[in-house]
Amino acid sequence: MASIRRKGRSWQVVHSIHVDGERKQRTRNFATQAAAKSYAAQVTPLEQRGVGSVRTTLGDYLHEWLDRKVADIELNTAAGYRRWVGHITRNAIARRPLDCEF
């Protein structure tokens, strides 16, 4: 969960992101406590869901998912999944961040 702390005359939000399967801590500074609270409210649900940075796209996620899944499924199923992931990643929706609202 994101935390807020006073740092000199500014406010700092400390939160975690998940990048390449690893949890990394990030900080961001704000001039007001209200701005810090607003940002913390935005990033807390992302932390709880384990979503990485905003730059994690649907296409990237699907390729990572497929790489993990292929070892546990039949060859024909894997071929079908590859085909559908290919269809999806050729469209503009694949470039959308996972945590965006449509």
pLDDT tens-digit series, residues 56-101: 788 888 998 899 998 899 999 999 999 999 999 999 888 887 765 5
**Closest Cα to residue 64, out of 21, 17, 16?**
21
The answer to whether the beta carbons of residues 11 and 64 sit under 8 Å apart is no
Check residue 51 and give its pLDDT.
59
The pLDDT, as a whole number, for residue 100 is: 56
- 85-94 CB contacts, 8 Å cutoff, 24+ apart: 88/58, 88/59, 88/62, 89/59, 89/62, 89/63, 93/58, 94/57, 94/58, 94/59, 94/62
Domain boundaries, the chain: 3-49, 58-95
